[in-house]
Structure 1
Amino acid sequence: MARKQFRFFPQRFGFFPYIWLIYLVFPVLNLKGYSGFKLMAGYALVLLFLVTYRQLYWQEGKAFSAWLGLQILIIVVLFILYSPYNLYMGFFTSNFIGWYADSRRFWRALTVFAGVLIALILLSLAHIQGTEILFLLPFIMMMLVTPFGIRSMNRRRLLERELDQANEVIRQMVKREERMRIARDLHDTMGHTLSLITLKSQLVEKLVVKNPERAQAEAREIERTSRAALRQVRELVSEMRAVSVAEELAEAAEMLRSAEIALEVDGDAALPGVSDLTQNILSLCIKEAITNIVKHSGADRCRIGIGMTAGEVRITVEDNGVGLGQDRGAEEAERQGGNGMKGMAERLSLIDGSLTLASGAGGGTLLTVVTPRVVKDGKDGETG
């Protein structure tokens, strides 16, 4: 069995805990002038304080509170028996109070800590000059404010970690949905195609002697069918990789050019700051919309608008084709596009996006896709 490696502090905190150790020099310096048992007891208390400091990085729950209480008690003893300036060690405690995620425990710990600080100042009024008290007051205020800043920072980190986990779940759901869609496509298209090739192969085998010319014609048909099947497989495989909006627009331009439909793009196709997940879902929606335009619209012009604000990404796809007609809308579009519109809506729902279908300003059809933007700061954050 491999021996577990000893670590003084958890690795995830990096060098931060070691930097704080520098401030333990001050309580050691405050022991200057003492000797004998009191000096050794002072060193022992500083060493025990160091132990509490390490343990608080590893403990949780009631154990964490117990070690925090012991740390406060050591500060009280060092303050009363040695030097009032040992009160600065309270900065260690104020940092750890901010670690409480539960509001009740946070306020309870902060109240106890504030009570201890006030009590120490009141008990030592006879021994501390007025100027020294005034010098200590700003630091006491900082000790009482610090837990709020630390708690806010920790809550933000927790939210970012939960957001990362949620995004990972969404990515897995998108992958699973894409696999299901590809499986359906394979079953609906390739299953039929392969069955047709099998039947024609059996027919060629029977005709090769009786009617060679007919057998050759059927063989050529098999070749055409197999090439079409190969093309379908390539299309399905190409859709499995993540595609950016800019890449999809390039493919859309080529498809529309082949169909003799003019394309106009307004906006920044790069979508800076938008995550790969969002871009991939948007690109699939654009692909489906362009396919519907080519197949059903009868248009000769298509306009794609890309807009981005602090809160959302909006993409519009408009054509000048036959449109939806009077009293028709999403149901008609779904009938025309098969499962395309439903697939778009399902993908967008994974990232809280939505789509609307309406008649364009000059006739034709206007598809609007909106997805929210989630902005995160930090090295590991992402915007999208």
Structure 2
Amino acid sequence: MQLFGNRRTFRLFPKMYGVMPYVFLIYLTIPLYYLTEEPVVKASLGYGMLLLFVLSYRQLYFSLQNHERYLIGWLAVHILIILIFSCFYDLFYLFLGFFPANFIGWFPKKRQFHIGLAALFILGLVPVVYHSLTASIEDAFFLLPFLIIMLLSPFGIRSMNKQVELEHKLKAANKQIDELVKREERVRIARDLHDTLGHTLSLITLKSQLAHRLIEVQPERAKAETKEIETTSRTALHQVRELVTSMKAVTIMEELQEIQKLLRAAGITFHIKREVSVEEIPLLTQNIISMCLKEITTNVVKHSQAANCYLTLGGMDKNLFVRVKDDGAGLEQKHGDGNGIRGMKERLALIDASLSVENSQGTLVEMLIPIVKKDKKEEDAL
């Protein structure tokens, strides 16, 4: 239990509650004034109780801050002092009931809140009944609206605190989402840089090997290949600049042209079948599909030992399917989902798409993508 706050730096009230605890203290000047009109003994007892009231008031704040188990105990002290004042001094002292009502509204647990409400009800009922039996009942009825407001105030405070707590949680959640978006963006940029450069460098490697083989037997063709290597390397530099500066989206048709160049350089015949138009597909979706196609065809060149690669773009219902099949050695099952497949699945998950890979007289990779076509107005706005 924290009786005097931090030993090193004394604080009258916890910093987190701001100036409100000090504002409430102003109202204690009223009972201080009325106690001056009491007999000496009764006034002295009153001053002592008022001092204990201030101590319990302070400890309630620290108990709330630290979620201590003494919270209900200090509240009981608070309410008992108000009961003595309102029964044996003056019914007017019931106005001090707003002090415990404020704390009850701050109670974090439902059980504590309900106990506090019950105690507050007793605090309002007992003095009224006591004075109605010993004095005029009119005074008791005069305080009725005041008592109703006092009993309802914890609900208002609790509702306000819940709203503030929800706003804090929402702010924290938004901050976390922002961090996750930034992290995902960094991962995406890194992955796109890797995939783009990997694809282009594979093409440069293949052309370099081809030029090396042709340099003695067909020097003119070798010279043409080296010229293409230069062009491809410049393209790679241009791609890196685009990715870093503007992250330009690559359309499916643009990627298909690059795939055709890559497969032709590798000596693999490319067969394409288009059953649907892809121009109206959102650019984000096209970019993700393009990056996946780049990964798939790079793997065909590197690992399949295939002579043919077949690509089909088709549609069914509101879905687009993309199938890439080769007639190569097939998928090595022992490797399971490699980094490439895992990366494609992560990308496709962003647009609620799926990926399947299987052996089918070679390797068959299929993407199933839900498509929401844009309005012309939305497309123009972009």
Match of 2:318?
329
Task: Answer yes or no: is 1:5 the counterpart of 2:9.
Answer: yes
Question: 1:161 is aligned with what amino acid?
Answer: H
Counterpart among 70, 76, 81 of residue 69 in structure 1: 76
The one of 30, 34, 38 equivalent to 1:26 is: 30
Look up the SS of the partner of 1:101 in the other structure: coil
| Letter of the 2:31 counterpart | P
Structure of greater Rg:
2
Aligned with residue 58 of structure 2, among 54, 58, 64: 54
Residues 221, 159 of structure 1: CA spacing in aligned structure 2 closer, same or farther, 3 A cutoff? same
Alignment of 1:41-190 (within 5 A): 41-59=45-63, 60-190=67-197
Measured after TM superposition, the shift of residue 140 of structure 1 is: 0.7
Question: In structure 1, how many angstroms separate the alpha carbons of the residues matched to 2:142 and 2:286?
Answer: 71
**CA distance, structure 1, for counterparts of residue 215 and residue 245 of structure 2:** 38
CA distance in 2, matches of 1:193, 1:50: 76
For 1:40 and 1:206, the matched residues in 2 are separated by 110
The TM-score with structure 1 as length reference comes to 0.60
> Relative to 1, partners in 2 of residues 1:204 and 1:21: Cα closer, same or farther, differing over 3 Å?
farther
Structure 2 matches for 1:343-358, cutoff 5 A? 343-345=350-352, 357=371
Q: CA deviation at 1:170?
A: 2.7
Query: How large is the RMSD of aligned CA atoms in angstroms?
Result: 4.2
Extract unaligned runs of 5+ from structure 2: 1-5, 252-280, 292-312, 325-343, 354-368, 376-382
Q: CA deviation at 1:4?
A: 4.5
- For residue 338 of structure 2, what is the aligned residue in structure 1? none
Q: Secondary structure at the match of 1:9?
A: coil
| In 1: Cα distance, 2:322 partner to 2:49 partner | 77
Separation (CA, whole Å) in 1 of partners of 2:323 and 2:132: 81
In structure 1, the residue corresponding to 2:371 is in which secondary structure?
strand
User: Following TM superposition, by how much is the alpha carbon of 1:135 offset from its aligned partner in structure 2, in angstroms?
Assistant: 2.2
Q: What SS does structure 2 have at the residue aligned with 1:8?
A: coil
Deviation per residue, 1:260-283 (Å, 9 max, x gap): xxxxxxxxxxxxxxxxxxxxxxxx
Unaligned runs of 5+ in 1: 241-250, 256-284, 296-322, 347-354, 359-364, 368-384
Matched residue SS, 1:332: strand
Q: 1:110 to 1:17 in 2, by over 3 A?
A: same
Kindly indicate whether the alpha-carbon contact (under 8 Å) linking 1:101 and 1:155 is maintained by their aligned counterparts in 2.
no
Q: Secondary structure in 2 aligned to 1:56?
A: helix
* Amino acid aligned to 1:187: H
- CA–CA separation in structure 1 for the residues paired with 2:145 and 2:322: 68
Question: 125-134 or 69-78: which moved more?
Answer: 125-134
Structure 1 counterpart of 2:321, one-letter code: E
Instruction: Please say if residues 79 and 119 of structure 2, whose CA atoms lie closer than 8 Å, have aligned partners that are also in contact.
Output: no
Q: Which residue of 2 is the match for residue 317 of structure 1?
A: none
Contact 1:76 1:120 in 2 (8 A): yes
